[in-house]
Amino acid sequence: MPDYETLRLIWWGLLGVLLIGFAIADGFDLGVASLLPFVAKKDEERRIVINTVGPVWEGNQVWLILAGGATFAAWPSLYAVSFSGFYLAIFLALFGLILRPVGFKFRSKMPSSAWRQTWDILLFFGGVVPSLIFGVAVGNLFLGASFHFDDLLRVIYTGTFWELLTPFPLLCGLLSVTMIVLHGGVYLIAKTNDPIAQRTRIIVIISALTAIILFAVGGIACAWQLNGFQYLSAITGDAPSNPLGKEVVLMKGAWLHNYTLYPWMMIAPALGFSGYIGVIPAVMGRYEKFSFILSAMSIFGIISTVGLSLYPFILPSATHPGHSLTIWDASSSQLTLFIMLLGVIIFLPIVLIYTSWVYRVLRGKVTPEILEENQTNAY
Amino acid sequence: MDLSALDLSRLQFGMTALYHFLFVPLTLGLSLIIAIMESVYVMTNKEIWRDMTRFWGILFGINFAMGVATGVPLEFQFGMNWAYYSHYVGDVFGSLLAMEGLMAFFLEATFVGLFFFGWNRLSKLQHLIVTWLVAIGSNLSALWILIANAWMQNPIGSHFNPETMRMEMTSFYDVFFNPVAQSKFVHTVSAGYVTGAIFVMGISAFYMLRGRYMAFAKRSMVVAASFGLASALSVVVLGDESGYTMTEHQKMKIAAIEAMWETEPAPAGLAIFGWPDVKAQKTYYEIKVPWVLGLIATRSLSQQMPGIQELVRHGKVRIKNGAIAYGALEKLRKNRLDKETWHLFQQHQNDLGYGLLLKKYTAYPQRASIHEIEQAAQDLVPNVFCLFWSFRLMVGFGLYFILFFTIAFILASRDRLEKSRWFQKMAVLSLPFPWIAAELGWIVAEHGRQPWTVDGVLPTFLSATDIQASAVWTTFLAFITFYTVLLIVDLKLMIKYIRLGPVKALGPQSFGRVIDAGL
């Protein structure tokens, strides 16, 4: 069995991989749902848009379930604190997400246009609301949440729902929605013909410019405005997971501290920017697959930037900085991390293999003819 | 109503779980029935079997979407409403949920799309494999979640770590091969197969009664009858009960199910009727079959089954020991190196959970009064009346299913299904029964687990998030509203497609044999 410190680092990386997996895989179908009312006007167009993700969104959403399950397993205190602390926000995201399975399945099962329009609106919210809330939640990681622990390590959350909606988290929420819309857009362009694709191209280009600006503003805020957290105690990578009894201070600009210590980390924000800079000419030049890869690259870069900036924190406490959750004191036991790692090593490649087979089977654009052929089951 | 956040969280979880469990059994059963139908299609090449696969597939899809939509809130609620639970047992329980996602959810969710969208893109054999993978994925997810649930009922393969204040896994092998998990898995998936079989039986019988789609309905019934008989036998014979002797609280659960207040000489009798009076701790009008309970529960004639009152007395001793462990733990927090306290803690750590029961009555369990210990010990008794009757109704339904499928099987083998209108009516009327039985089974298993979330380890009241009741009211009411609307929509669509029938639902051009048969 690898040592505890290594396992914790691996699982920190894997948490990132799963979140990035979720943002890339489920991200485009959330994005497609968010674009639905804007790029498709007639019912047939809407059905085309929905059917671009119809067969695959369900598998994609498992990335979120898995990210949740893996957080529960590998970072139980993170799971407990974030889900209970952000209670109403998480509930809103959840509500959006559970609209989707029934929305996709039920929408086209009744001919009435009122019925279909209602589901279209719900699907739109199901795409936008979770994207916005996940972004706002990530933004709040940078500010720290209002929580501490009692002697039994029960979490006591003292914040409110409205307290989560301050400028920096809202900026992150906007960035998140933009990323998701853009990602859904490049997918939609690859899977549809004009005029849907043409309308989407314009939105993608606007989104790319917006995302670049928002990401840059976020970086500037981290440098000049936000108080970052700094870990002062000596790090013992194999200590038991107990978040109490360490020393942490707040300092302006501390969230950029890691980039001075480890300059290689600059790769992450660089990837974030360059993907979106590249996606504009790629979309205009009709390089459909390449645009999708560039968008995925930016998602990878931006989410990695979050993780690397926060390192070694995963969820800081604004009210009791010493109770913040870090990589070294919030993980599950060495044995559990190891067994879960084995599970991931064995099963994740299998999942990736059959998922790519499914995409291969479903390759090609969604056209009215395809809907006609599959009358019984198309959405 | 003046409900605490704890009460509301319990109501919310219970409600959303019971609701989710309306869709899960049908997914389990119908996915396999569909896979069997498609296998016949691939082997015989008769188009009617493909049409059967596709028609039942439409209904499967509507139900599957509901299962997905209502499953996600359960995972989220662990963190949202049960934060201390998540912290305390995430090391074990969380890893099982993660494995479920990795091994099972990906499989079923990735291939279910291809099941619907792959008919024109896959070869016959490829599509059959996809269908089987969906069925296997659904069943695997049942396996993992039931291993997780079994650990809550019988938490083996783990220990308490005082430095991290939580349970940690010591043996994945033990957790995986938990004997409670095995009986639970077989029992639950069999119940799902019965649900799927009765669903197909009932709807096919509805068509027969109207004299429509006879060939289609008959074949569907033949598959459901044989599949259902095997499952009904398995669900009853391999019932959950064998697992009930593993822990002290499992013994309490069985004593509560039997409303057995006092210990009886072995082998104990099985009550088939009675009126448990919880206050007087007596059961009135009891009718007992001698020996049967002892035989089922202990598989022996000599082993004694403890009654509720005796188990409460045992519990009191464990609570006192647990209070000592709790006191030692508090001292250890101040001085980790105190050897004597460490020794004391280790002596009593297996009863720590019982000590935590006192937290409901006092902030300092180590100084609990006799009265407080008495109160905590009384909490060990689950709701006897509810368990007694839920269990009996469930078993009653189980026996009815055996009878029902035996008749179905005999009629099918004599080729008399089309002519037996009385049986067709019986099949339609039986439609709701498997759902009622499944919900009752859930109540027996989970309500019977109270006052624990994790048997002997963590009390329910301690597991909940410290949160304002108003927040939980908000989500609880939102769930109720949304779930009610969804249920109406779901039933509306189900009924629409059932009424449409296979020919119209699939479109005439894709419907071969049924039209040939002149039906």
Residues of chain A neighbouring B68 (CB-CB closer than 8 A): 58, 61, 101
Q: Which residue of A has its CA nearest to B97?
A: A69
- Kindly state whether A45 is in contact with chain B, defined as any CB-CB distance less than 8 angstroms: no
Q: Running DSSP on this structure, what letter comes out for residue B118?
A: -
- Kindly state whether B101 is in contact with chain A, defined as any CB-CB distance less than 8 angstroms: yes
Closest-CA residue to A255 (of A284, A232, A229):
A229
Q: Running DSSP on this structure, what letter comes out for residue A329?
A: T
Q: A145 forms bridges with which residues in the sheet?
A: A317
Task: State how far the Cα of A306 lies from the Cα of B366, in Å rounded to an integer.
Answer: 45
pLDDT in tens, A222-260: 988 889 998 888 888 888 888 888 889 898 889 999 999
Q: How confident is the model at residue A374 (pLDDT cuts 50, 70, 90)?
A: confident
Q: What is the model's pLDDT at position B294?
A: 67
Cβ count near B247 (within 10 Å): 18
Q: Which of A17-26, A134-143, B75-84, B283-292 has the lowest mean pLDDT?
A: B283-292
Are residues B110 and A354, on separate chains, in Cβ contact within 8 Å?
A: yes
**Domain layout of chain A by residue ranges:** 4-373
Q: What distance in Å separates residue A257's CA from the closest CA in chain B? A: 30
Q: What distance in Å separates residue B133's CA from the closest CA in chain A? A: 11
Q: What distance in Å separates residue A247's CA from the closest CA in chain B? A: 18
Mean pLDDT of B205-223: 92
Q: In chain A, pLDDT over 70 holds for what percent of residues?
A: 100
ipTM (interface predicted TM):
0.91
Pairing, β A325-326 against β B158-161: unpaired
Task: State how far the Cα of B89 lies from the Cα of B453, in Å rounded to an integer.
Answer: 10
Task: State how far the Cα of A360 lies from the Cα of A148, in Å rounded to an integer.
Answer: 49
Are residues B94 and A375, on separate chains, in Cβ contact within 8 Å?
A: no
Q: What is the model's pLDDT at position B133?
A: 96
Is the per-residue pLDDT at B517 higher than 50?
no
Are residues B110 and A101, on separate chains, in Cβ contact within 8 Å?
A: no
Contacts 24+ apart (CB under 8 A), B322-325: B322/B348, B322/B351, B322/B352, B322/B353, B322/B354, B322/B355, B322/B356, B322/B357, B322/B358, B322/B365, B323/B355, B323/B358, B323/B365, B323/B366, B323/B368, B323/B373, B324/B348, B324/B355, B324/B366, B325/B349, B325/B351, B325/B352, B325/B355
Question: Which residue from B86, B172, B493 is facing A339, i.e. has the nearest CB?
Answer: B172
Q: What angle do CA B431, B432, B434 make, to 5 degrees?
A: 90
pLDDT in tens, B320-376: 999 999 999 988 888 888 888 889 998 999 999 999 999 999 889 988 899 999 999
Q: Running DSSP on this structure, what letter comes out for residue B458?
A: E
pLDDT in tens, A304-314: 999 999 999 99
Task: State how far the Cα of B140 lies from the Cα of B158, in Å rounded to an integer.
Answer: 23
Task: Answer for the pair A320, A147: CB distance below 8 angstroms, yes or no.
Answer: yes
Q: Which of A156-165, B192-201, B235-244 has the lowest mean pLDDT?
A: B235-244
Q: Which of A326-340, B116-130, B265-279, B347-361 has the lowest mean pLDDT?
A: B265-279
Q: What distance in Å separates residue B18's CA from the closest CA in chain A? A: 17
Are residues A155 and B97, on separate chains, in Cβ contact within 8 Å?
A: no
Please state the φ and ψ torsions of residue B278, each to the nearest 5 degrees.
-70, -35
Is the per-residue pLDDT at B118 higher than 70?
yes
Mean pLDDT of B118-127: 91
Task: State how far the Cα of B519 lies from the Cα of B509, in Å rounded to an integer.
Answer: 15
Mean pLDDT of A206-224: 94
Q: What is the model's pLDDT at position B454?
A: 94
- Kindly state whether A72 is in contact with chain B, defined as any CB-CB distance less than 8 angstroms: yes
Residues of chain B neighbouring A146 (CB-CB closer than 8 A): none
Q: Which residue of A has its CA nearest to B105?
A: A62
Closest-CA residue to B434 (of B223, B165, B183, B235):
B235
Q: How confident is the model at residue B316 (pLDDT cuts 50, 70, 90)?
A: very high
Is the per-residue pLDDT at B28 higher than 60?
yes
Are residues B93 and A72, on separate chains, in Cβ contact within 8 Å?
A: yes
Task: Answer for the pair B127, A364: CB distance below 8 angstroms, yes or no.
Answer: no
Q: In chain B, pLDDT over 70 holds for what percent of residues?
A: 93
Pairing, β A155-157 against β A147-149: antiparallel
- Kindly state whether A153 is in contact with chain B, defined as any CB-CB distance less than 8 angstroms: yes
Contacts 24+ apart (CB under 8 A), A159-162: A159/A85, A159/A318, A161/A87, A161/A88, A161/A89
Orientation of helix B47-81 relative to helix B214-237, angle to 10°: 40
Q: For residue B380, give the amino acid letter.
A: L
Task: State how far the Cα of B432 lies from the Cα of B199, in Å rounded to an integer.
Answer: 9
Q: Which residue of B has its CA nearest to A67?
A: B98
Q: How confident is the model at residue B274 (pLDDT cuts 50, 70, 90)?
A: confident
Question: Which residue from A58, A76, A98 is facing B73, i.e. has the nearest CB?
Answer: A98
Is the per-residue pLDDT at B204 higher than 80?
yes
Question: Which residue from A88, A152, A373 is facing B120, i.e. has the nearest CB?
Answer: A373
3-state helix vs strand vs coil in chain A, percent to 5: 70, 5, 20
Question: Which residue from A61, A73, A242 is facing B94, i.e. has the nearest CB?
Answer: A73
Mean pLDDT of B487-499: 92
Q: How confident is the model at residue A367 (pLDDT cuts 50, 70, 90)?
A: confident
| Structural tokens at position B273 | 């009727």
Q: Which of A236-245, B171-180, B202-211, B322-331 has the lowest mean pLDDT?
A: A236-245
Mean pLDDT of chain B: 88
Is the per-residue pLDDT at B514 higher than 50?
no
Are residues B114 and A154, on separate chains, in Cβ contact within 8 Å?
A: no
- Kindly state whether B403 is in contact with chain A, defined as any CB-CB distance less than 8 angstroms: no
- Kindly state whether B366 is in contact with chain A, defined as any CB-CB distance less than 8 angstroms: no
Q: How confident is the model at residue B513 (pLDDT cuts 50, 70, 90)?
A: very low
Residue ranges of A 209-238 with Cβ closer than 8 A to chain B: none
Mean pLDDT of B198-209: 95
Q: What is the model's pLDDT at position B518?
A: 36
Helix (H, G, I), strand (E, B) or coil at B129: helix
Q: What is the model's pLDDT at position B243?
A: 53
Residues of chain A neighbouring B165 (CB-CB closer than 8 A): 152-153, 242
Q: What is the model's pLDDT at position B2?
A: 59
Mean pLDDT of B127-141: 95
pLDDT in tens, A79-132: 999 999 999 999 999 999 999 888 888 888 888 888 899 999 999 999 999 999
- Kindly state whether B100 is in contact with chain A, defined as any CB-CB distance less than 8 angstroms: yes
Task: State how far the Cα of B88 lies from the Cα of B454, in Å rounded to an integer.
Answer: 10
Residues of chain B neighbouring A240 (CB-CB closer than 8 A): 161, 163-164
Is the per-residue pLDDT at B70 higher than 60?
yes
Q: What is the model's pLDDT at position B258?
A: 82
Mean pLDDT of B459-477: 92
Residues of chain A neighbouring B89 (CB-CB closer than 8 A): 76
Half-sphere exposure of B243 (CA within 13 A, CB side): 23
Q: What distance in Å separates residue A88's CA from the closest CA in chain B? A: 7
Write a three-state SS string for A82-93.
HHHHCHHHHHHH
Is the per-residue pLDDT at B516 higher than 90?
no
Task: Answer for the pair B224, B443: CB distance below 8 angstroms, yes or no.
Answer: no
- Kindly state whether B471 is in contact with chain A, defined as any CB-CB distance less than 8 angstroms: yes
Q: What is the model's pLDDT at position B271?
A: 78
Residues of chain B neighbouring A156 (CB-CB closer than 8 A): 466
Under 8 Å CB-to-CB from A340, ≥6 apart: which residues?
A: A11, A70, A73, A74, B95, B98, B99
Q: How confident is the model at residue B519 (pLDDT cuts 50, 70, 90)?
A: very low
Helices (H), B369-383: 370-378
Q: What distance in Å separates residue B236's CA from the closest CA in chain A? A: 33
Q: How confident is the model at residue B515 (pLDDT cuts 50, 70, 90)?
A: very low
Is the per-residue pLDDT at A204 higher than 70?
yes
Half-sphere exposure of A220 (CA within 13 A, CB side): 7
Residue ranges of A 265-324 with Cβ closer than 8 A to chain B: none
Mean pLDDT of B267-294: 76
Question: Which residue from B58, B87, B95 is facing A340, i.e. has the nearest CB?
Answer: B95
Task: Answer for the pair A291, A283: CB distance below 8 angstroms, yes or no.
Answer: yes
Among B59, B175, B465, most A C-beta atoms within 10 A, so best to mutate, is B465
Closest-CA residue to A48 (of A60, A59, A39, A57):
A39
Q: What distance in Å separates residue A330's CA from the closest CA in chain B? A: 9
Task: Answer for the pair B380, B451: CB distance below 8 angstroms, yes or no.
Answer: yes
Are residues B91 and A81, on separate chains, in Cβ contact within 8 Å?
A: no
